[in-house]
Amino acid sequence: MKKKFIILFFAIALPGFVNAQFNSVILKVDGLTCSACSFSTQKSILQLDFVDDVKIDLNSHDAIVTFKPAKKISIDKISKKVYDAGFSVGSLDAVFTFNSKEISDSTCFEFEGDIYHFEQMPQKTVLNGITTIKFISEKYMSKSEFKKWKKIIHNDVCKKPDNFSGKMYHVILLK
C-alpha cells in the first residue's frame, strides 16, 4: 500500500514541478536604421512557431521576443532569423524563471534538451524567480566582445549524455 501511495504521489507531483521556465529573450539587433528595418526583423522572427510576440525599440535597437507556452525554444533559430533579415545580433540575453536552482562556477544546467554552462560565478548562488542570463558565443554578441570571452570559456566541463542531440550554450548570470 505504501509503495502505491509513493508512486501515486510522484505521478501527481512531478508533472507540475518546473525547475525553470524560459520566458523571453532580449536581443540587441545591430544595423537597424529605420522602421522598415525593424519591421522586416520583427516579421522574420515572428515566423518561428514558438514565438508569441516581438517588440522592437528602434532607438535602442533592442528586441524583446516572448514565447508561446509549452513550445521548445531555439536560440539558434532566433539568431538565424535576425541574420536572415539582413542584420546581426549584438547581444542575446534570456529571461528565465527559476525555482530554487543552485549554481556556481561551471554549473551545467539541462533545460529542454539543451545544456547551459554557467561561467564566471564568483560564489554559489540560488536562482529564484525571474533571472537574466547572457549567451556567450560569436553568434550572440559582437566579435570584439566574444574575443574577450573566448579565452575564458571552459568547453570540457559539461558532460553530454549519450545520444545528446541538443545544443551546448555558455552563459553568464546578469545582475
Residue in 153, 151, 158 with CA at minimum distance from that of residue 136: 153
Domain residue limits at 94? 18-173
Residue 8, domain member (yes or no): no
Residue 9, domain member (yes or no): no
Residue 40, domain member (yes or no): yes
In sign, the C-alpha dihedral spanning 45, 50, 53, 56 is: negative
Q: How many domains does the chain fold into?
A: 1
Residue 75, domain member (yes or no): yes
Q: How many CB atoms lie within 10 A of CB 4?
A: 8
One pLDDT digit (tens) per residue for the chain, 175 residues? 444 333 333 333 333 334 678 899 999 999 999 999 999 999 999 999 999 999 999 999 999 999 998 899 999 999 999 999 999 999 999 999 988 888 887 788 888 888 888 888 878 889 899 999 999 998 898 888 898 888 878 777 788 878 888 888 999 988 7
Q: Which residues pair with 168 in a beta bridge?
A: 115
Identify the DSSP state of 157.
S
Is 116 within 8 Å of 19 (Cβ atoms)? no
pLDDT at res. 156: 73
pLDDT at res. 70: 86
Residue 13, domain member (yes or no): no
Residue 23, domain member (yes or no): yes
Residue 2, domain member (yes or no): no
Q: What is the CATH number of the domain that holds 145?
A: 3.30.70.100
Residue 128, domain member (yes or no): yes
Task: For residue 13, give Cα distances in angstroms to 9, 112, 115, 159, 160.
Answer: 6, 19, 24, 28, 28
